[in-house]
Amino acid sequence: MSIKDNLTALKEELPKEVTLVAVSKTKPNASILEAYDAGHRVFGENKIQEMTQKWETLPKDIEWHMIGHVQRNKVKYMAEYVSLIHGVDSFKLLKEIDKQAKKHNRVIPCLLQVHIAEEESKFGLDKSELEGIVNSEEFKNFENIKVIGVMGMATYTQDQSQIRKEFAYLKSIFEFLSDKLLDISVLSMGMSGDYTIAIEEGSTMVRIGSSIFGARNYSQ
Ligand SMILES: *Cc1c(COP(=O)(O)O)cnc(C)c1O
């Protein structure tokens, strides 16, 4: 199936209120343009440098989402154009995003990444760290960032009940945050292998790569 066919099938399957982020990391501009020509506008990347190169060369009405781990010293490269940063996992990073957004007179929407998986390797805050951030005085004074939700990645496992449990937990944190802050609307969870469960557990935004663009080849 072509990229266009994959996208069409996926969009038919997803509930209307769920936003699809087409994860184009490692994929060439030609593949992104194929999705673009099929009408898609929201793309996700996990490396700031790669995303910036794509932003420079591809149509300007594309919304670029940073879904990967963000190094503070690279925020400046995407502050001008990034539409949503999914992987915010520290107060220091929020502070840097606020600072760089100010330089461009922007308010950058952000998601707090929560650690929900069993694996140690996955990034993210635990609930108490998240509470610490949103309860702090300094957080209330940020003018150039807006936290609009949470993001998480489930354990990579065949155990569906484990995945479901982790997504349900993220949903509970989403609800906790909704009670504390205004404008919380995004629950970013679900990838190619687990988006069906994520949607059943209340996801409002799925990040899907290989089911649209095919498997990635990292050895290139
Ligand atoms: C790569 C990636 C995805 C997409 O993964 P697929 O399995 O290809 O759908 C989603 N979220 C994050 C954070 C990723 O890094």
For tokens 């190619």, name the residue.
Answer: 192
**CATH number of this structure's domain 3-211:** 3.20.20.10
Query: Does the CB atom of residue 209 touch ligand 1 within 6 A?
Result: yes
pTM over 0.85: yes
pLDDT by position in tens, the chain (length 220):
899 999 999 999 999 999 999 999 999 999 999 999 999 999 999 999 999 999 999 999 999 999 999 999 999 999 999 999 999 999 999 999 999 999 999 999 999 999 999 887 768 999 999 999 999 999 999 999 999 999 999 999 999 999 999 999 999 999 999 999 999 999 999 999 999 999 999 999 999 999 999 998 865 4
Q: What is the pLDDT of residues 27-86, one digit of tens each?
A: 999 999 999 999 999 999 999 999 999 999 999 999 999 999 999 999 999 999 999 999
- Beta-carbon contacts of 69 under 8 Å, excluding residues fewer than 6 positions away, are 46, 87, 89, 123
**Separation of alpha carbons 23 and 45, rounded Å:** 6
Query: Does the CB atom of residue 111 touch ligand 1 within 6 A?
Result: no
Nearest Cα residue to 17 out of 205, 208, 207, 212: 205
**Separation of alpha carbons 188 and 204, rounded Å:** 6
Measure 142 CA to ligand 1 centroid, in angstroms.
Answer: 29
Contact 76, 127 (CB under 8 A): no
Measure 105 CA to ligand 1 centroid, in angstroms.
Answer: 30
Coil, strand or helix at 190: coil
Where do the domains of the chain lie?
A: 3-211
